[in-house]
Amino acid sequence: SQTIHQWPATLVQPVGSPLSLECTVEGTSNPNLYWYRQAAGRGLQLLFYSVGIGQISSEVPQNLSASRPQDRQFILSSKKLLLSDSGFYLCAWSPLGTGSYEQYFGPGTRLTVT
């Protein structure tokens, strides 16, 4: 069966510090991968998606970046965090080449920038 891992679960970082969130998927190959951010009481904002190693598409201009160094690894980074980067970050995957209406989400990372 497939599982998706995210870490850390919670993170408190000062403004201006760097960020690295990691997501890994097990039990599947060539998944589509996604990073979302969710503000408190709000919907899911798609930040990045990837259809393959090294292939990253950005949805929202911001000071975040994403990388996919391995097939089942997706990393979200920032060089200098802003207060507005606080939120709940969710990684998700979907099978490649399907109707792709179903995504599977990781447990999320709750980031607080102080």
Partner 1 sequence: GQSLEQPSEVTAVEGAIVQINCTYQTSGFYGLSWYQQHDGGAPTFLSYNALDGLEETGRFSSFLSRSDSYGYLLLQELQMKDSASYFCAVRGGSGNTGKLIFGQGTTLQVKP
φ/ψ (deg, to 5) at 90: -120, 135
* 54 contributes a contact to partner 1 by CB under 8 A: no
Pick from 51, 56, 58, 65 the residue near partner 1 by CB under 8 A: 51
Site string for partner 1, 66-85 (x = CB under 8 A): --------------------
CA distances from 14 to 11, 18, 65, 70 (A): 10, 9, 18, 29
CA distances from 44 to 35, 37, 71, 79 (A): 10, 6, 24, 23
* 61 contributes a contact to partner 1 by CB under 8 A: no
Q: Which two tokens stand for residue 50?
A: 């990837």
> How far apart are alpha carbons 103 and 4 in whole angstroms?
11
Pick from 11, 28, 46, 58 the residue near partner 1 by CB under 8 A: 46
> How far apart are alpha carbons 105 and 6 in whole angstroms?
9
Pick from 20, 57, 70, 114 the residue near partner 1 by CB under 8 A: 57
Minimum gap (Å) between residue 84 Cβ and partner 1: 18
How many chain residues bind partner 1 (CB under 8 A)?
27
Which residues are at the interface with partner 1 (CB under 8 A)? 32, 34, 41-44, 46, 49, 51, 57, 59, 90, 94-108
